[in-house]
Amino acid sequence: MGEIDRRRQLAALVHSVGKYISRTARNIGAAPISAPLLRMLIKDLYHLDGEHTASAVFARLAAPIEAQKPDRWIDRCRVLLRKIDEIEPAVRRGDDDAVHLAATMAIEIDTLLRSAFEESGVRVNPGQKTQSPHRR
C-alpha cells in the first residue's frame, strides 16, 4: 500500500469511525444524558455501521494501515475502544459516570484519527482506485 492508499484508508477511518463515534459524544453536557441522546450514543458506540461495534469497524479499517506501518495512535485507539466495550452494560443502563467516560474516550479517538490523517499530508486524486471503506 502506497502513501496515497494509506491516506485514503485514514480518510475512511476519520469519516467512518472518528466522526461517527463522536457524533453524540460531542453533544453530551455535564447534566445527566437524556433518553434520545443515550439511544444515539449506544448506536454510535456499539452499532457504528448499523451492525458492528466501533471497535470492530476500527479493527477492519485499521488493519491494512497497521500492516503497512504500525503506529502508536493505532494502539491508543484500540485501548480506548476496548475500554468502551468493557463498560457497555453500564453505558446501556445510562450510568452517568460510564456515559461521560465513554463520551470522553470517543472524542479522544476522533482527535487521534484526525491528527493521524493530517500528519499523513498527501493529496489524493479521486481517479485512483481504492476499496470502499463503507459497508453496512
Q: Should residue 56 be labelled a site residue for other proteins when binding is judged by CB under 8 A?
A: no
Classify residue 46 as left (phi > 0), alpha (psi -120 to 50) or beta: alpha
Site for other proteins in 12-41 (CB under 8 A): 14-16, 19-20, 22-24, 26-27, 34, 36-37, 40
Amino acid at 70: P
Minimum distance between the CB of residue 31 and other proteins, rounded to whole angstroms?
13
Give CA–CA dist 77/122, Å, rounded.
22
Count of residues in contact with other proteins, rule CB under 8 A:
31
Minimum distance between the CB of residue 15 and other proteins, rounded to whole angstroms?
6
Alpha-carbon Rg of the chain, whole angstroms? 15
Site for other proteins in 85-124 (CB under 8 A): 114, 117-118, 123-124
85 grid coordinates: 466495550
